[in-house]
């Protein structure tokens, strides 16, 4: 679910990240106010159409997001069939699906930097309490950067242990992984220092050459 | 425009002596009980300086002293007249640092974002940051990877990205700590060429001795002391001879 940006210059790509997030939030609220299966199906169809035609995204970009939760949606549907009824079940499933696809469209058409900038903007009022919004943005960006890296390290350790015949020990993996991650964290801290993270301006520099 | 957050920061520049080089005076560094560097005094003014020595001899510690990532336990390090102890920020602006493992140095999820990180931190205006990002993408053949996740780059491309991220900050000098240790032969040569073409003064810590062929000066570190110091034609064979 990381780095899902699909480069392009469609209308949706060019729309402001803040607007896209606002629409997404509004859709989220709207979908929970309505309870009709037809409206849900309509919403799902609409976001799919927006994603595929307006944003010109490949089907794959949307499917990738939905695939990991198929099973849960199916279970949810089954649960509703047993506990409530077909109508409630389809509303619940279609609603989640519509939201998921809508979120996929937003993430696929918006750069992480732009999303992070919106979050920094939202966090700006916290400045009063001494919070530095740029810091929040950096932490988010670094999380997105390092999750795949840690996953990769974990996979490598698993391979190394499997190569030595340990194909059952899962807990044993945690120790070398932790050591590797901590060691890297030290260097990352130094790198942040070396790259001036501490010098970060209190505000984002304006898009003019006037600041000097 | 000033943000008024660090009023004294610019006063640092008052004492800059451009071209004075990096001077170490009686530097000693201790981790816990262990003396890692011991009585190092020298001045680096050459364009290309190499540092070699066995594992654990203190090379990385030495390298980190040069841009103030490590402050010596005793003694002084001056970069163009700036003390790394009291003017760390100004020193770090002048001296870039490239680490062995680019994965630890790349902190943003995509290539272009990571290139923008350093100059943005320096307060460079957005349009100038963008200009530098374009320049670096072009110069290091990363233009096709602009929005790609950094973790999908090859090892060689990651190291180029790490170097480009430092260059985007326009430092006067760059310290490299084993920049080619994790690379294959082709990428080692590529990075060697990149370093060779830099207009900045560089200090390179390495175990790849052939990287140092065209260098002006090579230091050999052993147990925290500089035991040999001179042209690579003399120091490198001397170092190799000591291994036998
Ligand atoms: N942060 C630290 N805390 C404690 N000891 C350290 C620290 N960093 C380095 N050392 C120790 O200091 C000594 C010198 O380390 P340094 O990393 O400078 O050596 P090096 O010459 O770079 O070695 P290598 O070739 O393996 O990179 C080593 O014994 C190391 O264990
Ligand atoms: Mg080292």
pLDDT digits (tens, 9 = 90+) for A21-66: 999 999 988 998 888 999 999 999 999 999 999 999 998 888 887 8
> Which of the listed residues A47, A76, A110 is the one where a domain comes to its end?
A110
Residue ranges of domains in chain B: 22-105+172-243
| Residues 66-95, chain B, touching A (beta carbon < 8 A) | 67, 69, 89, 92-93
The pLDDT, as a whole number, for residue A125 is: 87
Neighbouring residues of B87: CB distance < 8 A, sequence distance ≥ 6: B12, B15
Using pLDDT thresholds of 50, 70 and 90, give the confidence band for residue B126: very high
The secondary structure of A58-87, three-state, reads CHHHHHHHHHHHHHHHHHHHHHHHHHCCHH
What is the CA angle A181-A183-A186, rounded to 5? 110
Residue A170: the pLDDT is 64
Quote the pLDDT of residue A207. 43
**Cβ(B53) to ligand 1 under 6 A?**
yes
Which overall architecture, per CATH, does domain B22-105+172-243 show? Answer: 3-Layer(aba) Sandwich (3.40)
- Compute the mean pLDDT over every residue in chain B, rounded to the nearest whole number: 91
Model confidence band, residue A154 (pLDDT cutoffs 50, 70, 90): confident
In this prediction, residues A177-187 reach a mean pLDDT of 88
pLDDT-based confidence at residue A203 (cuts at 50, 70, 90): very low
Share of chain A above pLDDT 70, in %: 90
Pair A99, A136 in one domain: no
Instruction: Let me know how long chain B is.
Output: 244
Average pLDDT over residues A132-156: 83
- Write down the pTM of the prediction: 0.78
Does some domain include residue A70? yes
Task: Tell me which of B28, B54, B57 to substitute to probe ligand 1's pocket, judged by most ligand atoms within 8 Å of the beta carbon.
Answer: B57
How much is the ipTM here? 0.85
Is the pLDDT confidence value at A210 over 70?
Answer: no
What is the mean predicted confidence (pLDDT) over A170-197?
Answer: 86
Region B164-169 average pLDDT: 96
Question: Residue B121 is nearest to which of A5, A7, A196, comparing CB atoms?
Answer: A196
Rounded to whole angstroms, the Cα distance separating A89 from B32 reads 64
Are A93 and A137 within one domain?
Answer: no
Residues A59 and A90 in one domain: yes
pLDDT confidence of residue A11:
92
Mean pLDDT of the B79-95 span: 93
Instruction: Choose, out of B104, B110, B117, B179, the residue to mutate when testing the contact with A (most A CBs < 10 Å).
Output: B104
The verdict on residue A119 lying in a domain is no
Given a contact cutoff of 8 angstroms between Cβ atoms, the answer to whether B25 and B76 are in contact is: yes
HEC profile of B58-88:
CHHHHHHHCCCCCCCCEEEEEECCEECCCCH
Inside any domain, residue A48: yes
DSSP string, B176-191: EESTTTTS-HHHHHHH
Q: State the distance from the centre of ligand 1 to the C-alpha of A169, rounded, in angstroms.
A: 32
Same domain, A99 and A135: no
CA separation for the pair A124, A179 (Å, rounded): 36
Interchain CB distance below 8 Å, B109 and A197: no
Confidence category of residue A209, pLDDT binned at 50, 70, 90: very low
Host domain of residue A39? 11-110
Is A122 among the domain residues? no
Claim to verify: residue A150 and residue A95 sit in the same structural domain: no
A211: which chain B residues are within 8 Å (Cβ-Cβ)? Answer: 1, 123, 125
Residue A205 pLDDT: 45
pLDDT tens digits, B128-160: 999 999 999 999 999 999 988 888 899 999 999
Residues A106 and A149 in one domain: no
Contact, A61 vs A6, CB < 8 A? yes
- Same domain? A133 vs A173: yes
Q: How many domains does one find in chain A? A: 2
Residue B100 near ligand 1, beta carbon < 6 Å: no
Same domain, A106 and A47: yes
């Amino acid at each position: 679910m990381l780095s899902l940006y699909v480069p392009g210059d469609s209308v949706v790509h060019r729309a402001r990240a803040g607007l896209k997030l606002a629409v997404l939030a509004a859709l989220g609220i709207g979908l929970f106010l309505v309870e009709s299966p037809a409206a849900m199906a309509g919403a799902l169809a609409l976001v799919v159409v927006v994603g595929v035609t307006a944003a010109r995204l490949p089907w794959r970009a949307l499917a990738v997001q939905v695939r990991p939760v198929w099973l849960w949606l199916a279970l949810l549907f089954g649960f509703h069939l047993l506990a409530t009824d077909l109508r409630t079940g389809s509303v619940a499933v279609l609603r989640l699906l519509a939201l998921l696809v809508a979120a996929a469209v937003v993430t696929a058409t918006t750069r992480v930097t732009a999303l992070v900038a919106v979050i920094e903007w939202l966090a700006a009022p916290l400045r009063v309490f001494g919070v530095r919004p740029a810091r929040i943005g950096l932490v988010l960006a670094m999380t997105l950067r390092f999750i795949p890296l840690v996953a990769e390290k974990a996979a490598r350790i698993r391979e190394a242990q499997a190569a030595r015949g340990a194909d059952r020990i899962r807990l044993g993996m945690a120790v070398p992984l932790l050591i590797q991650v901590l060691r890297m964290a030290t260097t990352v801290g130094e790198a942040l220092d070396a790259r001036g993270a501490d010098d970060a301006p209190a505000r984002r520099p304006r898009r003019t050459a006037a600041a000097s | 425009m000033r943000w008024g957050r660090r009023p004294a920061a610019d006063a640092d520049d008052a004492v800059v002596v451009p071209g004075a080089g990096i001077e170490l005076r009686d530097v000693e560094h201790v981790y816990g009980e262990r003396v890692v560097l011991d009585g190092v005094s020298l001045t680096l003014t050459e364009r290309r300086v190499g540092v070699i020595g066995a594992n654990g001899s203190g090379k990385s510690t030495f390298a980190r002293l040069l841009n103030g990532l490590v402050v010596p336990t005793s003694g002084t390090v001056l970069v163009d007249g700036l003390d790394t102890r009291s003017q760390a920020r100004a020193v770090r602006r002048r001296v870039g640092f490239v680490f062995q493992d680019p994965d630890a140095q790349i902190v943003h999820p995509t290539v272009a974002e990571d290139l923008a990180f350093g100059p943005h931190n320096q307060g460079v205006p957005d349009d100038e940051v963008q200009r530098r990002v374009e320049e670096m993408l072009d110069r290091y053949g990363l233009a096709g990877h602009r929005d790609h996740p950094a973790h999908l780059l090859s090892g060689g491309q990651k190291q180029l990205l790490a170097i480009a991220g430092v260059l985007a900050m326009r430092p006067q000098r760059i310290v490299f700590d084993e920049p080619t240790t994790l690379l294959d032969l082709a990428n080692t040569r590529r990075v060697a060429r990149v370093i060779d073409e830099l207009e900045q003064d560089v200090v390179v810590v390495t175990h790849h001795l052939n990287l140092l062929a065209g260098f002006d000066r090579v230091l050999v570190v052993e147990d925290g002391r500089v035991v040999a110091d001179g042209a690579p034609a003399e120091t490198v064979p001397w170092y190799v001879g000591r291994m036998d």
